[in-house]
Amino acid sequence: MSGNLYVVAAPSGAGKTTLVRLLLEREPAVQLSISTTTRAPRPGEQDGREYHFVAVDAFRAMISRHEFLEWAEVHGNFYGTSKSWIEAQLAAGRDVLLEIDWQGAQQVKKLFPEAIGVFILPPSMAELTRRLVGRGTDAADVIERRLAAAEAEMRHVGEFDYVIINDQLDQALDDLRSVVRASGLVLKKQRVQHADLFSRLI
């Protein structure tokens, strides 16, 4: 695997989507894998940009054809990652970022043990609650379910390589960029990207 595969997970409301968006703006060499989902688009979302939106029957058919690198049911909706697209990007030496949940991260790690796992934590449950309420997109009962799920999800933090606490957005972004930059400097990757230089110097 010549490209780096980043797996970024977090409980709902921890700021994962914002951090990933800002990272991609500042690190253009990293490509975002666009997941397929059965959930309805939120206001402002477009098919093929935030997600590939499909019906449940279509998603189940894709599962049966083994088209997903990973898939999971989260909050009553299905989410999945295209296996063939990921493999093609990594083989071409491109870095890819997956913005998924801990269940998906476990599946990815089984197929790509070298995948780099990053978990985003909120600074507190009170702040997580404030962020979810502040979205204004979910009913009170949905927020309660998300908070309960968040507590369960955060117990899986030990399965990841890096942990970033998203208290101050700028600092959290710097931390995430540091992970990407350091990962690009590992010996194995440098040998591939600068093969001519290595052959001349070493």
Question: Which DSSP letter does residue 34 get?
Answer: P
Phi, psi (deg, nearest 5) at residue 80:
-150, 160
Q: pLDDT tens across 159-173, in order? A: 999 999 999 999 999
d(Cα 65, Cα 81) in Å, to the nearest integer?
A: 13
CA angle 73, 138, 71 (to 5 degrees): 15
Q: pLDDT tens across 40-98, in order? A: 999 999 998 889 999 999 999 999 999 998 898 888 999 999 998 899 999 988 999 99
- Could you tell me the domains of the chain? 5-34+95-201 (3.40.50.300)
Question: Contact, 107 vs 69, CB < 8 A?
Answer: yes
In percent, the amount of the chain with pLDDT more than 70 equals 100
- Pick from 7, 37, 19, 36: nearest CA to 106: 7
Per-residue pLDDT band for 153 (boundaries 50, 70, 90) equals very high
Residue 68 CB-density burial (10 A; 0-12 exposed, 13-18 middle, 19+ buried): buried
Model pTM above 0.75: yes
Q: What's the pLDDT score for residue 107? A: 87
Q: How many other C-beta atoms are found inside a 10 Å radius of the C-beta of residue 30?
A: 19
Q: Is pLDDT above 70 for 1? A: no
Q: Is pLDDT above 70 for 179? A: yes
